[in-house]
Structure 1
Amino acid sequence: MSDSKKIVWYNLAFMAFSTVWGFGNVLNGYIYFNGIQVIFSWILMFALYFVPYALMVGELGSAFKNAGGGVSSWIHETMGPKLAYYAGWTYWACHITYIASKGSGGLKALSWMVFQNGTTFSSFGTRPIQFATLAIFLFFCWVASRGLNPLKKLATLAGTSMFVMSILYIIMMFAAPAINPNGGYLHMDFSLKNLIPQFNMGYFTSLSILVFAVGGCEKISPYVNKVENPSKGFPKGMIALAIMVMVCAILGTIAMGMMFDPADIVANFDAYNANGSYWAFQKLGQYYGMGNALMIIYAACNAIGQFSTLVISIDAPLRMLLDSEDARQFIPTKLLKKNKYGAYVNGIWMIVFLSGAIILIQALVPSADAVLTQLTKLNSVTMPMRYLWVFAAYIALRKAKDKFNPEYKFVKNQGIALTAGAWCFIVTAACCLLGMYKEGDMFTTALNVITPIVLVGLGLIMPAIRKRENSNSVSE
């Protein structure tokens, strides 16, 4: 690639920023960590986890610049095909809970668009909403089974617009007191005592929310070697990314602190988890005399994003797993069956069973808002499980230092590199395990424990089923 076509470091930072960050991360941090106290936790998370994580991804991407399978390819090169299958399976399995949450999130967004309040959705009752969510989920499974994926462009558009809305919120909120001094903003206490959180059980069991928020930067690994002067340009871009994300997290948190009282959030937690982002844009519109216009735009973007992500998440991770030659040798042949449209029809049926079961189980939850809270926590427990493979691949890469020669290295010192990899692995695993527990709610705790066990267990028995199939075909 000629130098004129190389990506400069600040362009890389902006590309990664739009991939990693979103408005929901600001809201989740604010409500789970007692308002502006989350600022302390964000700074720690960025300094001790996100920056080394992003720089390790850069080294992996540089070492395996021609490998197109992402994390699975890295594991294949460093640890062999069977562990590469497990990495691919984990990536797919994490999307089962994610898929189950998208229908509920999309319905919530539509409700805000139509009724313009947060109470109507809950008033329908949990069971009717979960059955409606199941119907939407089954419809999009049918769409995927027909080989159709008409929402890819809409997903890109929705993702971009949500990113723009997130930045717009911060800018408009900071300008609001000058434009409307009598808007009724809340006063925040920035004393050190008020900024340092209480390190209790609730704090540690919520850290998975922050890990979930900052994860996913491995998506930018294909661009490492396309950066101008990768050894200097890539870390520059990643540090710029970390600064941008940290600034947005802190400014977004302060903006929310002008709107929402943490004490009220504690008293109405499920309602804020389900409606907080819509209330934020509704209040912002009121400060500017725009009524509900900003909220409706945000809800429309969110609805499109939720539903388009739903159909893409049914189709894309499944294809990534089953199209992989390394993974196929460990997967039962029935799951590899395609219909006339080229869709892995039995794989989609497996998604129907697993995600559908989560949707139906939540019909037992007392309120529709509580369902959304439960799904947020479940995703924060399961989705970061895929990051474990990133750190495992990095440790294996550094241990095989004589075999691979990446153009860019996170750090030259071998001991520091291995310690950083082990640290991020342990932090991720600990946050996932601690995040499973919810004080006073054994139903949610059980769901958070059983779901990963079932998904991991399925992945472990698949190779045994395939091995038995192979043995039977040889004996015949």
Structure 2
Amino acid sequence: MDSFDSAHKRKQLTWPVIALMDFVTVIGFDDIIYNFQNQGLAVVSDWILLLVLFVIPYELIVGQLGSTFSDDGGGLASWIRHTSGDKMGYITAWCYWVVSLPYLVDVANSTVVSFAWLFKGHALSDSEMSNWAFALFTALIFVVFIFFQHRFANSLQWLSIIGGGAMFIATVLFVIMTIVYLGQGRPIATQPFHFKNFLPTFDMKFLMSLGLLIFAMNGAEFVAPYVTEMKDGPKNFPKAMYMLAIMTGFLTIFGSFALGVFFNAHHLPNDLKMNGSYYAFQAMGTKFGLGNFFLYLFIITQAIYMLAQLAVLVDGGARIFLSDTAKRYLPRQLTKTDKNGLPVNGYWLTTFICSVLLFLSSTLPSVNDIFNQLLNLNGIVSPYVTGLLFWAFIKIRVHEDEYPSEYVYIKNRKFAIFVGWWCLIITLVGATFGIVPIDAKAGSGTWWHMLILNIVEPLFMIGLGIVLPLIAKWQRRHDSAIK
């Protein structure tokens, strides 16, 4: 087998394709649903504030980092390795890869839910599928998909174009149909519906949901490993980030407003996070007398979109972890690739960790609790690691003479450093408060169960990251003893 670094590259990618690949990892209709349940219509103001104060700076920071290190294939791991050394490069690579795995589980869960809607035409209930059956179907999704990735090496680009494009079009359609609905003078589900509903509330609930808001809009750096496969990457990668920022802003702001038209924001279903997207398109079809037409249109779109997410997360995450990490920290089995340049052993390690997380969370009382806890776990671990991205940006701006870039976000050096620290602090605050469960009554048995899982599962992921270098060290000693 070839090493990952010498793997055969795909056909050169254009910046619109990179933007669509990124879009499937950054934001989706489900992300709007999740935070709509947490904040109601006030989330519209939250999205606007975060878009201006966090998302646009974050995505353009990614643009400069991608342009600065355009010859490296490890993304965030490369950026930290160049600015803080090999050991920090490994720590970053492991952390960034492993914190994407709860999201990978969430995506696989959502894939199971989408197929349940496709075949049953309604929300999945606990009586129809037990917790353990749900876990087994999710694990099966991983196995089937890894086989698919292995057999069809170039599936990623096409899945991303189709999935990302279809989801954006579906969201635009939802917003357009909402405008038509309002234009016909039809009633709004949220009552009373006035300006006060949209005002943000900076309370404990806001802080508890801030991590999930950040998680919903981060992930732009996931496509950084593909800069080396772009035509004129240093120049065109920032264009993809601009396109991504526009798509993200449209989806979050107008999508959340549209939800308030079809759902009563003051009385939302308990399973909205798991089934809300389907309820939304089902309600739209009912309002326009089209039955389940929009529902099934969305189900198909969602299934393709979820498969595209799996493709980017499995492939892109493994690249970040395996392609540019100091090899002495990794067991040699993880640095090998197949004839298509795919890190198959990395894929199987991904499946193992995801299965452990899934089965730990399956001890919760219901499928809905499993879904919500794994979802909220992302709002804890993901922002912590995103903070490393801002640290890398601060480092290259403090020592900007050592890190020239064709694209520079914020010419003023001192202001750029201030923005880097601002974004770093926001992510750390959101991640810390995210540890407190938001989907269960405080002090209840389920609340304590979720809190324990929110602590134990990250510790499991950290522990495994410590074990891998020890295995690599043992392998080196064993090889030396044989020689």
Cα drift, residue 345 of structure 1: 5.3
Q: From the superposition, tell whether residues 367 and 122 of structure 1 become closer, same or farther in structure 2 (CA, over 3 Å).
A: farther
C-alpha contact (below 8 Å) 1:21/1:245 kept by paired residues: yes
C-alpha contact (below 8 Å) 2:68/2:406 kept by paired residues: yes
Say whether 1:159 aligns with 2:164: yes
Cα drift, residue 299 of structure 1: 0.8
Which residue number corresponds to residue 103 of structure 1?
Answer: 108
Cα drift, residue 311 of structure 1: 5.3
Q: Write the distance in 1 (CA, Å) between the matches of 2:179 and 2:377.
A: 33
Which residue number corresponds to residue 262 of structure 2?
Answer: 259
Cα drift, residue 377 of structure 1: 0.8
- Aligned pair count? 457
Q: Write the distance in 2 (CA, Å) between the matches of 1:226 and 1:151.
A: 21
Which residue number corresponds to residue 78 of structure 2?
Answer: 73
What are the residue-to-residue correspondences of 1:374-385 with 2, within 5 Å?
374-385=373-384
Q: Percent identity?
A: 29
C-alpha contact (below 8 Å) 1:188/1:257 kept by paired residues: no
Say whether 1:39 aligns with 2:38: no
Which residue number corresponds to residue 4 of structure 1?
Answer: none
Say whether 1:291 aligns with 2:291: yes
Q: From the superposition, tell whether residues 388 and 224 of structure 1 become closer, same or farther in structure 2 (CA, over 3 Å).
A: farther
SS of the equivalent of 1:329 reads helix
Say whether 1:195 aligns with 2:206: no
Cα drift, residue 48 of structure 1: 1.8
C-alpha contact (below 8 Å) 1:388/1:425 kept by paired residues: yes
C-alpha contact (below 8 Å) 1:106/1:303 kept by paired residues: yes
Q: From the superposition, tell whether residues 322 and 182 of structure 1 become closer, same or farther in structure 2 (CA, over 3 Å).
A: closer
Paired amino acid for 1:470: R
RMSD over aligned Cα atoms: 3.3
Cα drift, residue 376 of structure 1: 1.5
Which residue number corresponds to residue 395 of structure 1?
Answer: 394
Q: Write the distance in 2 (CA, Å) between the matches of 1:224 and 1:46.
A: 29
Say whether 1:131 aligns with 2:147: no
Cα drift, residue 82 of structure 1: 2.3
Q: Write the distance in 1 (CA, Å) between the matches of 2:166 and 2:317.
A: 24
Q: Write the distance in 2 (CA, Å) between the matches of 1:142 and 1:396.
A: 40
Q: Write the distance in 1 (CA, Å) between the matches of 2:344 and 2:409.
A: 42
Say whether 1:82 aligns with 2:82: no
Q: Write the distance in 1 (CA, Å) between the matches of 2:79 and 2:339.
A: 33
Q: Write the distance in 2 (CA, Å) between the matches of 1:351 and 1:332.
A: 15
Say whether 1:282 aligns with 2:282: yes
Give 5+ residue unaligned stretches, structure 2: 1-13
Which residue number corresponds to residue 53 of structure 1?
Answer: 58
C-alpha contact (below 8 Å) 1:149/1:312 kept by paired residues: no
Q: From the superposition, tell whether residues 426 and 381 of structure 1 become closer, same or farther in structure 2 (CA, over 3 Å).
A: same
C-alpha contact (below 8 Å) 2:83/2:396 kept by paired residues: yes
Q: Write the distance in 1 (CA, Å) between the matches of 2:19 and 2:142.
A: 35
Which moved further from structure 2: 168-177 or 39-48? 39-48
Q: Write the distance in 1 (CA, Å) between the matches of 2:145 and 2:28.
A: 24
Paired amino acid for 2:194: F
Which residue number corresponds to residue 94 of structure 1?
Answer: 99
Paired amino acid for 2:31: N
Which residue number corresponds to residue 301 of structure 2?
Answer: 301
Q: Write the distance in 1 (CA, Å) between the matches of 2:238 and 2:100.
A: 29
Q: From the superposition, tell whether residues 275 and 74 of structure 1 become closer, same or farther in structure 2 (CA, over 3 Å).
A: same
What are the residue-to-residue correspondences of 1:345-356 with 2, within 5 Å?
346-356=345-355
Cα drift, residue 369 of structure 1: 2.0
TM score, norm. by length of structure 1: 0.84
Which residue number corresponds to residue 211 of structure 1?
Answer: 214
Say whether 1:466 aligns with 2:472: yes
Which residue number corresponds to residue 3 of structure 1?
Answer: none
C-alpha contact (below 8 Å) 1:395/1:422 kept by paired residues: yes
